[in-house]
Amino acid sequence: MNNLFNLENKVAIVTGGYGHLGTGITKSLMQFGAKVYVAGRSKTKFLEKFGEESEENIMFVEIDIMDSNSIESCFKSIFEAEGKIDILINNAHSAKGNSQENMADDDFLFTLDGVLGSVHKCIKVVLPYMKENHGGKIINISSMYGLVSPDFKLYEGDDCEKYTNPPHYGAAKAGVKQLTKYYAVLLAKYNIQVNAIAPGPFPKEVIQRENPEFIKRLKAKNPMNKIGVPEDLDGSIILLSSKASGFITGQTLQIDGGWTIW
């Protein structure tokens, strides 16, 4: 059974691998033996999360997920260093605008590209490397708001503007779910599996500290009466990255404590 989940000698890329969820994703891959390249814009943030000490199984590499040339340079450098890319986790996104009623057109379009377009760009660039490797695993990070809409009754006063998920984000994450299905069909003949994870309520620690009453309402909304922590994604990440998911493709796992079942 251990061999099913063993990721030793696997090379993984995690975009945004030092963020709130990305840090947990990176650590879980490392714990199961993968060598992880954390792709992001800020080496400083990477060092804040993973420390100054260098480890053989984790490295930082610069990327701008909005720029195809940057993605190509990033992935090419990893392939040249390792000779393969086994796993790609499309976790990072770029977004602008948080107003539900006064969304600027440019902010809306920027976010569609930063959330959905960036996933397409990364898959397009990694494809020839995975083909050469005769297979691979791609995991896209969607969201519960790609499946359901926010419950606006949870928000009070300034909370609505500050915490409510904006419309373009959910629309783009819904697109990630469909793009996952599309690429799963297209790439199956190359032994490349494409799946997605849709996290539920995983509020950042700063939100938990500054508004505990909002967190209470968030928990009460969920069937399991709790919010998610990054470690709650470990099982699904390892499953979809390993041999254990050998007959799974085109699926979106909803890791949300039951949020999307009602």
Do 90 and 19 form a contact (C-beta atoms < 8 A)? no
pLDDT at 217: 94
Alpha carbon distance 145, 199 (integer Å): 9
Q: In Å, how far are 7, 45, 229 from 257, measured between CA atoms?
A: 27, 29, 11
Percent of the chain with pLDDT over 90: 88
Q: Per residue in 157-195, pLDDT tens? A: 766 667 788 999 999 999 999 999 999 999 999 999 999
* pTM (2 d.p.): 0.96
Q: In terms of Cα–Cα distance, which of 206, 233, 244 is closest to 23? A: 233
Do 139 and 89 form a contact (C-beta atoms < 8 A)? yes
The string of DSSP letters for 159-186 reads: HHHHHSPPHHHHHHHHHHHHHHHHHHHH
pLDDT at 162: 75
Residue 193 β-bridge partners: 137
Do 230 and 49 form a contact (C-beta atoms < 8 A)? no
Which domains, from first to last, does the chain contain?
Answer: 2-261 (3.40.50.720)
- Record the tokens describing residue 234, joined without a space: 């470990």
pLDDT at 51: 84
